[in-house]
């Protein structure tokens, strides 16, 4: 089950990430907007001079001509100056929803004069209403007035005039931002203007204006934005041609997103202009930040100073902080709202619009799906490091594509969420991989810490793939070691002393095995079973095993000396420990063997049985270490002598045995041949019961073996001869 846990949980995380992207909660939109903001911060739109200007009712203008609102006659004077300077269109980011406060009717009321009072009627004839002055000027020029759409009560009747709407495809009323009501300018003024447009900003949840609507709805009526209406009046168009997705008149609109399979506005035609929008009839602001070059002070216009507005779309608004028309954009925390209208006009006229393609969400969804599935499939194969490299390359590629698409095509593609989703899948997979590795390390530590040297255990923990606990056939060298006449020893010792003796014996023997790359399979009373070349590959496993047994011989000699000194100090009789060791090499099955509730990393097979048999017959030759023929062939540099063959049950051919005498220093000694002949005499004499002949050969071998570090072997043979003489004498009595 653990095998499927990683892909199952990683798939669950991917499914959650895909579901979130499908549902697209507002927080994802916020994060996506921040990514697009970053694009603009790194590469803002370069300001290019365009026939777009802003007449700014700034603080300097207010200090010159008084607080706002100015008398409508002053506004009319400003519009006249702009008309005479050649402005193509003047778009007022202002709403004149109430009568001028300097109008005679309002002034007379403030004086306490009734409308039918003779003085009131005479002054009304002599004093022209400022709203009428403004209306007259509006009629003379191309002026668009502002309308504020609200969630209050709808106006008594639709604001007029505005451009008409011709729809190809779905009616925009089902799509665009909807308001309940509208606050227009006075009927006298709106009727005199060439157009009326909504000045509403529609900021995101963080109050940043990133998109500007071209069409909005109030009640049952559609309203063009101030920007759209300024463009319409500027090109002398009468109608907006709105093309929606599904419209045969607009090929691009035939694409339907499978994530958002709904209708949406695709393009708005304004005379010769064809403006692509997002499905909500909005344009994305490609911000330049605040540019003073756009601005002309309203005070300069009213003062008659030369101004360059010929052929330009002129937006009239305010940057005065007290009039509270400051907005946040991707680049600037506080910018005059009128400058956003101007920037959008520049983008349209200079063809520098950016867009979020209708297929972008589908592309991001599929990118997340592909990256996530790739992580799930490749993580078990490549491992955390390989997948991290692949994931890093994928993230860089996604970010690179998003940046390239923005820079060269003006597309807004979000690489962040697909990358984050893939990272979540990767992290889940890696954490589970680490969990599985940790479990494997703990299992390896529990399985091998008592049988392998610490360095080898660390190697296995670092790379658990080196071991196959499930079982495998490997070429191994197997060792059995047993204390000679242990039954006799145990009969004359107390349990506590016997336990201490066994521990004193098994500890150095086991250390010799593990220090030479062997694994302790098990302890069976006084016996040790060990093997080499599992779980780690050891090409020289036979040589390591031979070296380990020679080291065991040396450590046993030291142990016997220590035990002898202890017995002498205690006034006790001492009997040296003698061992027999059998080594054999060949194929065997190795793995976790046992019951369901208890297993042991062990080996089984014919070659294991042969190693046990070899250890058993070593006693008959008076030598301590016997090895099989395959072990001898795999370790030819060691000094060894052939001592005969044994027959194994179930085998038709005998197995040849060798006695391991020493290492390469013995085999390469000048007297090696003569020395090995003496050892052969010892083995054959001992086997035939010629103890005197064996003793004579031992004496000769001691002389020849001086300086070859063979004293532990000589001591062992001497002990074996002494024990054999003792048994022979006891039998004769």
Which tokens go with 222? 């559609």
Query: Quick check: 250 pLDDT over 50?
Result: no
- Residue-level pLDDT at 247: 44
More confidently predicted of 124 and 651: 651
In whole angstroms, what is the distance from residue 548 CA to residue 519 CA? Answer: 11
Q: Are residues 414 and 492 in the same domain?
A: no
Which residues does residue 480 pair with via DSSP β-bridges, in sequence order? 529, 582
Instruction: Answer whether residue 508 is part of any domain.
Output: yes
Q: Are residues 607 and 696 in the same domain?
A: yes
CATH number at residue 714: 3.30.70.1230
Domain boundary residue, one of 349, 375, 392: 349
Which tokens go with 111? 């004086």
More confidently predicted of 599 and 604: 604
Domain boundary residue, one of 401, 425, 443: 443
φ/ψ of residue 121, rounded to 5? -70, -40
CA dihedral over 85, 88, 94, 98, signed as positive or negative: positive
In whole angstroms, what is the distance from residue 527 CA to residue 64 CA? Answer: 111
Band of the pLDDT at 125, cuts 50, 70, 90? low
Q: Are residues 439 and 453 in the same domain?
A: no
pLDDT in tens, 289-333: 999 999 999 999 999 999 999 999 999 999 988 887 889 999 999
Residue with tokens 């060269």: 408
pLDDT in tens, 624-644: 999 999 999 999 999 999 998
Q: Are residues 403 and 463 in the same domain?
A: no
Query: Quick check: 114 pLDDT over 70?
Result: no
Tally the domains of the chain: 3
Nearest to 421 by CA among 394, 389, 382: 394
Instruction: Answer whether residue 106 is part of any domain.
Output: no
Nearest to 622 by CA among 726, 715, 526: 715
Band of the pLDDT at 596, cuts 50, 70, 90? low
Band of the pLDDT at 123, cuts 50, 70, 90? low
Give the highest mean pLDDT range of 335-344, 389-398, 592-601.
335-344
In whole angstroms, what is the distance from residue 489 CA to residue 567 CA? Answer: 14
Query: Quick check: 253 pLDDT over 50?
Result: no
Instruction: Answer whether residue 108 is part of any domain.
Output: no
Q: Are residues 415 and 453 in the same domain?
A: no
Catalogue the long-range contacts made by 20-24 (C-beta closer than 8 Å, 24 or more residues apart). 21/259, 21/361, 21/364, 21/365, 21/368, 21/417, 21/421, 22/259, 22/365, 24/259, 24/361
Q: Provide the 10 A C-beta neighbour count for residue 657.
A: 27
SS3 353: coil
Can you tell me the mean pLDDT for 507-517? 94
Q: Are residues 318 and 435 in the same domain?
A: no
Instruction: Answer whether residue 144 is part of any domain.
Output: no
Domain boundary residue, one of 349, 381, 414: 349
- Residue-level pLDDT at 248: 42
| Percent above pLDDT 70 for the chain | 87
Instruction: Answer whether residue 131 is part of any domain.
Output: no
Q: Are residues 417 and 472 in the same domain?
A: no
- Residue-level pLDDT at 251: 39
Query: Quick check: 80 pLDDT over 50?
Result: yes
Instruction: Answer whether residue 110 is part of any domain.
Output: no
Q: Which of 219-233, 242-256, 321-335, 689-703 has the lowest mean pLDDT?
A: 242-256
Band of the pLDDT at 85, cuts 50, 70, 90? very high
Q: Are residues 327 and 376 in the same domain?
A: no
Which tokens go with 675? 């020395």
Instruction: Answer whether residue 33 is part of any domain.
Output: no
Helical H segments across 449-494, by residue range:
454-462, 486-491
Can you tell me the mean pLDDT for 244-268? 62
Q: Are residues 380 and 521 in the same domain?
A: no
Q: Are residues 295 and 423 in the same domain?
A: no
**Are the C-beta atoms of residues 686 and 622 closer than 8 Å to each other?**
yes
Q: Are residues 342 and 420 in the same domain?
A: no
pLDDT in tens, 516-569: 999 998 999 899 999 999 888 899 999 999 999 999 999 999 999 999 998 888
Q: Which domain holds residue 430?
A: 2-21+361-443
How high does pLDDT run on average in the chain? 86
**Are the C-beta atoms of residues 586 and 576 closer than 8 Å to each other?**
no
Q: Are residues 341 and 375 in the same domain?
A: no
């Amino acid at each position: 089950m653990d095998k499927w846990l990683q892909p199952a949980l990683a798939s669950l995380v991917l499914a959650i990430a895909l579901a979130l992207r499908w549902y697209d909660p507002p927080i994802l939109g916020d994060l996506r907007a921040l990514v697009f903001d970053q694009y603009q911060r790194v590469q803002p739109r370069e300001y290019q001079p365009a026939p777009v200007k802003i007449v700014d009712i700034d603080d300097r203008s207010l200090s010159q001509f008084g607080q706002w609102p100015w008398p409508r006659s002053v506004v009319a004077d400003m519009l006249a100056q702009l008309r005479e300077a050649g402005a193509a269109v003047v778009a007022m980011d202002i709403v004149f929803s109430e009568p001028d406060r300097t109008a005679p009717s309002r002034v007379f009321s403030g004086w306490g004069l009734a409308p039918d009072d003779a003085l009131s009627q005479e002054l009304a004839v002599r004093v022209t209403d400022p709203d009428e002055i403004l209306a007259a000027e509006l009629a003379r020029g191309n002026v668009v007035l502002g309308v504020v759409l609200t969630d209050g009560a709808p106006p008594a009747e639709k604001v007029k005039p505005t451009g008409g709407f011709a729809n190809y495809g779905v009616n925009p009323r089902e799509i665009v931002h909807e308001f309940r009501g509208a606050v227009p300018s006075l009927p006298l003024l709106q009727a005199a203007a060439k157009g009326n447009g909504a000045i509403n900003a529609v900021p995101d949840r963080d109050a940043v204006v990133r998109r500007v609507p071209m069409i909005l709805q109030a009640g049952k009526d559609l309203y063009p934005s101030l920007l759209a209406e300024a463009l319409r009046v500027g090109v002398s168009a009468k109608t907006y041609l709105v093309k929606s997705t599904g419209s045969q008149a607009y090929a691009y609109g035939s694409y339907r997103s499978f994530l958002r399979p709904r209708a949406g506005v695709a393009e708005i035609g304004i005379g010769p202009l064809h403006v692509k929008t997002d499905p909500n009839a909005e344009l994305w602001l490609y911000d330049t930040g605040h540019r003073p070059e756009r601005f002309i002070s309203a005070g300069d216009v009213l003062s008659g100073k030369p101004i360059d507005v010929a052929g330009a779309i002129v937006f009239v608004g305010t940057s005065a902080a007290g009039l509270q028309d400051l907005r946040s954009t991707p680049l600037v925390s506080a910018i005059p709202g009128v400058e956003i209208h101007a920037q959008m006009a520049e983008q349209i006229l200079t063809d520098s619009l950016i867009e979020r393609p209708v297929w972008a969400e589908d592309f991001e969804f599929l990118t997340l799906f592909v990256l996530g599935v790739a992580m799930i499939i490749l993580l078990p194969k490549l491992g955390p490091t390989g997948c991290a490299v692949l994931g890093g390359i994928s993230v860089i590629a996604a970010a690179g594509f998003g940046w390239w698409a923005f820079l060269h095509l003006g597309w807004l593609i979000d690489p962040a969420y697909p990358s984050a989703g893939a990272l979540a899948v990767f992290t889940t997979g890696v954490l589970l991989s680490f969990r599985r590795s940790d479990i494997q390390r703990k299992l390896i530590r529990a399985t091998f810490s008592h049988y392998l040297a610490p360095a080898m255990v660390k190697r296995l923990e670092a790379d658990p793939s080196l071991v196959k606990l499930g079982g495998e056939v490997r070429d191994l060298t197997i060792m059995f070691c047993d204390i000679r006449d242990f039954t006799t020893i145990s009969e004359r010792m107390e349990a506590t002393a016997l336990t201490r003796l066994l521990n004193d014996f098994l500890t150095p023997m086991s250390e010799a095995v593990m220090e030479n790359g062997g694994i302790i399979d098990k302890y069976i009373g006084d016996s040790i079973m060990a093997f080499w070349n599992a779980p780690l590959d050891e090409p020289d496993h036979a040589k390591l095993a031979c070296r380990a047994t020679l080291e065991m011989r040396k450590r046993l000699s030291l142990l016997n000396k220590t035990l002898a000194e202890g017995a002498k100090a205690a006034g006790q009789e001492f009997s040296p420990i003698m061992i027999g060791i059998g080594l054999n090499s060949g194929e065997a099955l190795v793995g976790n063997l046992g019951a369901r509730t208890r297993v042991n990393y062990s080996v089984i097979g014919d070659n294991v049985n042969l190693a046990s048999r070899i250890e058993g017959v070593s006693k008959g030759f008076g030598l301590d270490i016997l090895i099989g023929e395959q072990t001898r062939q795999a370790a030819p540099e060691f000094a060894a002598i052939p001592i005969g063959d044994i027959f194994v049950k179930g085998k038709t051919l005998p197995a040849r045995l060798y006695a391991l005498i020493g290492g390469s220093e013995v085999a390469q000694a000048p007297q090696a041949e003569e020395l090995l002949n003496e050892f052969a005499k010892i083995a054959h004499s001992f086997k035939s019961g010629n103890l005197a002949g064996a003793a004579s050969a031992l004496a000769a071998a001691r002389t020849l073996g001086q300086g070859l570090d063979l004293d532990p072997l000589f001591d062992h043979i001497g002990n074996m001869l002494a024990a054999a003489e003792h048994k022979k004498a006891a039998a004769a009595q």
